Amino acid sequence: EGFDLANSPVALCKKMIFGKELVMTTTNGTNAALLSKRAGRLVAASFLNLERINGFLESEGGRIELQCAGSSGRVSLEDVLLAGAIVSGLGMGCTDDGCTLASLLYESAKSDLESFFIENGFHARRLLSLGFGDDISFCARINMYNLLPLWRDGGFVRG
């Protein structure tokens, strides 16, 4: 209620949103961003912009903290895999077991993320059962966009 667009990335078409300012809110993503807003820099990452994110993080240097938003207050397989992809892409040394697990999981799944999501991810199976299989396929694509969403003035903007 009160929303003009659905939460499906596939349902959005370029002509609906091109050149417009959008406001998007999600329960888990919004909470994760608000918990992380004291960071020196805050970016939103996905498999779709992985290379851009890793390039930005490499150029920034310094300490990097990865915040996985999860789903319904729980760990999300997709988020952990993305954290592992960032760690692997940067060649970072892990400082705890969570980082090591994420990296190892990504390395074992990277050849077919979509299948791995569907076979092992609770949230992906739920989306599939609701008819959103195209969203899973879309979100499993790597480096489709060269976008850098940066947190500024209470929201993410193009960096």
**Sign of the torsion angle spanned by Cα atoms 6, 8, 12, 17:** positive
Backbone angles phi, psi at 151, to 5 degrees: -80, 120
Give the C-alpha distances (Å, rounded to integers) separating 149 from 97, 119, 121: 28, 30, 26
Is pTM beyond 0.75? Reply is yes
Which one-letter DSSP state was computed for residue 18?
T
Say what the pLDDT of residue 1 is. 54
Q: So what's the pLDDT on residue 112?
A: 97
Residues 98, 58, 115: CA angle, nearest 5 degrees: 50
Q: How far apart are CA 3 and CA 17, in angstroms?
A: 14
* Rounded Cα distance, 44 and 118, in Å: 23
* Predicted local distance difference test score (pLDDT) of residue 67: 86
Superfamily of domain 43-147: ComB-like (3.90.1560.10)
CB 105 within 8 A of CB 81: yes
What is the torsion angle, in degrees rounded to the nearest 10, for the CA atoms of residue 85, residue 12, residue 117 and residue 131? 180
Can you give the pLDDT of all 159 residues of the chain as single tens digits?
Answer: 566 666 777 777 666 767 777 666 676 777 787 778 778 888 999 999 999 999 999 998 888 888 888 888 888 999 999 999 999 999 878 888 999 999 999 999 999 999 999 999 999 999 999 999 999 999 999 999 999 988 888 778 888
Domain regions of the chain by residue span: 43-147
- What pLDDT shows up at residue 111? 97
Give me the pLDDT at residue 113, please.
96
CB 67 within 8 A of CB 36: yes
